[in-house]
Amino acid sequence: MSETDIRKVLREELNNIAPEVDIATVDPSADLREVIDIDSMDFLNFITALHHRLGIDIPEIDYPKLVTLDGAVTYIGAKLGASKT
């Protein structure tokens, strides 16, 4: 899965939670919980959706790595790469 594909997945899943937000305008290094106003339940649903859609395991201890768009892209890219090998 390319970085573009990962960003597309993230955009779709975040829009399921916050349909009114244009994810393209979100600072990729900003804390998603702040900039698109999602609470802990939303964030858990986001993680759950990524887990189901991409088949990757995201332990709770890794949550801080996924709170920015750039962080999430890097994390997911590494997870998907690791699972292929």
Partner 1 sequence: MAEFRMPSLGSDMEAGTLVEWLVKPGDWVKRGDIVAVIETQKGAIEIETFQPGQIEKILVNPHTKVPVGTPLALIKGEREAMPGAAVPPPAVPAVPVAVAPLARAPIEPPAAPSAAPHVRISPAARQLAEAHGIDLAAVTGSGPGGAITHADVERRLATAPEKKRAPSLDLNAMRTAIAAAMMRSKREIPHYYLEHQVDVTPCEQWLAQKNATLPPDSRLLIGALVIKAVALAARRFPAFNGFYREGQFEPAQAVHVGVAITIRGGGLAAPALHDTDQLSLDDLMNRMRDLVQRTRAGRIRSSELSDPTITVSSLGERGVETMYAIIYPPQVAIVGVGKTVTRPWVIDGAIGPRSVITLTLSGDHRVTDGHAGGLFLADIAKLLQEPAKL
Chain residues binding partner 1 by CB under 8 A are 12, 16, 18-20, 33-34, 37, 39-41, 44-45, 47-48, 51, 57-61
Pairwise CA distance, residues 59 & 61, whole Å: 5
What is the closest distance, in whole angstroms, from the C-beta atom of residue 80 to partner 1 in the complex?
17
What is the closest distance, in whole angstroms, from the C-beta atom of residue 78 to partner 1 in the complex?
18
What is the closest distance, in whole angstroms, from the C-beta atom of residue 15 to partner 1 in the complex?
8
On the CB side of 65, CA atoms within 13 Å amount to: 12
47-53: Cβ within 8 A, 24+ apart: 49/13, 49/16, 50/9, 50/10, 50/13, 50/76, 53/9, 53/13
Kindly tell me which of 19 and 24 has the beta carbon lying closer to partner 1.
19
Kindly tell me which of 25 and 60 has the beta carbon lying closer to partner 1.
60
Kindly tell me which of 16 and 83 has the beta carbon lying closer to partner 1.
16
